Amino acid sequence: MSEDARLVVVSNRVAVPKARGAAGAQGGLAGALNAALKDRSGVWFGWSGEETEEHSGEIATQTTDGVTTATIDLSKRDVDEYYNGYANSTLWPLFHYRLDLAEYERETGKGYERVNERFAETLHPLIEEDDIVWVHDYHLIPLGERLRSRGVKNRIGFFLHIPWPPTRLFVSLPYHERLVRTMLHYDLLGFQTQEWLDSFLHYCRTELGAEVDDGTGSVTLDGWTTIARAYPIGIDWDHFTGLANTGDARQAEQRLLSSTRRRTAMIGVDRLDYSKGLPERLDGISRFFDRFPQRVRDLVFIQIAPPSREDVESYQQIRTLLEQKAGQINGARSEVDLVPVRYVNRGYSHAELFGFFRAAKIGLVTPLRDGMNLVAKEYLAAQDPEDPGVLILSRFAGAAAQMQDALLVNPHSPDDLSHAIATALDMPLEERRRRYDALISTVRDDNVQDWTNNFLRDLDAR
């Protein structure tokens, strides 16, 4: 990218320093983008997270560490229809293959288009001639096309953080064609893995009749050409591993070790979301204790899961279900001096998570479907290379494509999970080291700086 080009990042939420919800369970996006923006004196535009009676169009800006954030508030109706509605009750479940949970409501679809239009209207005057614009995620798919309709000629790229579903599922979305056609107005489209990219290209070819070149990823339709490629996201390795020496990380590690004593700690850390496979995970653990009742003395499972998207009903249901399942295992297996499952409903700082990960000899990451999953990478990054823990990873996480040396499991199968837990518990040091050595280079080298550089390099070349 030319050294002078300013970077404008657009995403639904913006991690404004000290803003409500800016830290904690906001997701993998925030850390990734801050790293990209720091070097490029960029602007980060999006929703403040605040609701107002009426949409005012006012922009609040703030500059910290050379990064300017520009945020707008949304009306309650916009939040209901665009955020809780179309983005999180239609696109999120559908893109995670959950047709059973996807809701198709005309009104929320209109709200989604209206808010994308609002974003374009407010953002347009902030864009300068040579800026490069990078739009993120499923909330803002039509934004590029909305900017183009206002005459924006800048290079605009889009990255999808979640999976792209197979065509046969995707066509259940009303107006699917209209949505995908807007994507062809971007100069560059990024997906997490080759699998999601293949599904997208398949759709363009078979449903839109676009001209698709699998080699270059170019997609042409009605005079518009975009390039679609896979850019697997990574963690901020230097920052995350640097946390090892903090007091918070050490204390967290000690706290976990002293509370688990002779038992092996197995950890799960996820936003409370049905895509993360949490009830299925507990079924696997329950099966493990059914098979090996005496091993309740060897293993303690710690699940850290802060609530998210609590205004959406399917998220309230999953929370109740999890409480029941954790309660059932503990009811059946607890002794006066031990409880097999600790279920913690809150977020922790990355330093504390580092310490917990390091103290846990098994990392259990079993989403039913996940664009990438950064927890899998963070778990490994926190391990002691001399005595590393074992990562059990769902084959349906995007991360599995890069992490074939993890213990890969089918998260739908309690037997498979139970078997993997037993294997991990008994795995000799030599094999743990071999797997760790095979996995750590992708975690370290394919990091978030590499991801942003690759994406921006290709966007600049357009």
Q: Which active-site residues does the annotation give?
A: 161, 370
Closest C-alpha to 165, from 265, 232, 239, 94:
94
Instruction: Mention every residue, 6+ apart, whose C-beta is less than 8 A from residue 360.
Output: 256, 265, 266, 267, 302, 379, 389
Count of Cβ atoms closer than 10 Å to residue 361 Cβ: 21
Q: Which of 217, 234, 371, 388 binds ligand ADQ (CB under 6 A)?
A: 371
CB of 369 to ligand ADQ, least distance (A): 9
Which CB sits closer to ligand ADQ, 207 or 279? 279
Beta strands in 174-314 (DSSP E): 188-191, 211-213, 218-221, 224-230, 264-269, 299-304
Site residues (CB under 6 A) for ligand ADQ, limited to 228-247: 233
Please provide residue 90's backbone torsions phi and psi, each rounded to the nearest 5 degrees: -115, -65
Give the separation between CA 38 and CA 319, rounded to whole angstroms.
37
If one asks whether residue 370 binds ligand ADQ (CB under 6 A), the answer comes out as yes
Total residues interacting with ligand ADQ, rule: CB under 6 A: 23
Give the separation between CA 297 and CA 159, rounded to whole angstroms.
45
Q: Which of 8, 28, 189, 448 binds ligand ADQ (CB under 6 A)?
A: 28
CB of 64 to ligand ADQ, least distance (A): 20
Give the separation between CA 297 and CA 32, rounded to whole angstroms.
39
Site residues (CB under 6 A) for ligand ADQ, limited to 195-234: 233
Strand partners, 267: 302, 363
Instruction: Confirm if 347 and 307 have CB atoms less than 8 A apart.
Output: no
Which CB sits closer to ligand ADQ, 135 or 152? 135
Give the separation between CA 88 and CA 67, rounded to whole angstroms.
28
* DSSP string for residues in 4-34: TPPEEEEEEE---TT-TT-SSTT-HHHHHHH
Site stretch for ligand ADQ (CB under 6 A), options 25-33, 39-47, 114-122, 403-411: 25-33
Give the separation between CA 375 and CA 88, rounded to whole angstroms.
21
CB of 299 to ligand ADQ, least distance (A): 21
Q: Computed over its alpha carbons, how large is the radius of gyration of the chain?
A: 22
Which CB sits closer to ligand ADQ, 142 or 398? 398
Strand partners, 71: 46, 60
Which CB sits closer to ligand ADQ, 170 or 348? 348
Instruction: Confirm if 21 and 83 have CB atoms less than 8 A apart.
Output: no
Site residues (CB under 6 A) for ligand ADQ, limited to 372-401: 372-375, 378
In terms of DSSP bridges, do strands 211-213 and 264-269 run parallel, antiparallel, or are they unpaired?
Answer: unpaired
**Binding string, 311-350, against ligand ADQ, x = CB under 6 A?**
------------------------------------xx--
Q: Which of 271, 287, 309, 361 binds ligand ADQ (CB under 6 A)?
A: 271
CB of 184 to ligand ADQ, least distance (A): 23
If one asks whether residue 78 binds ligand ADQ (CB under 6 A), the answer comes out as no
Which CB sits closer to ligand ADQ, 5 or 160? 160
Q: Which of 10, 304, 351, 440 binds ligand ADQ (CB under 6 A)?
A: 304
CB of 269 to ligand ADQ, least distance (A): 5
**Binding string, 147-166, against ligand ADQ, x = CB under 6 A?**
--------------xx----
If one asks whether residue 33 binds ligand ADQ (CB under 6 A), the answer comes out as no
In the complex, the residues that contact ligand ADQ under the rule CB under 6 A are 24-25, 27-29, 161-162, 233, 269-271, 304, 306, 347-348, 353, 370-375, 378
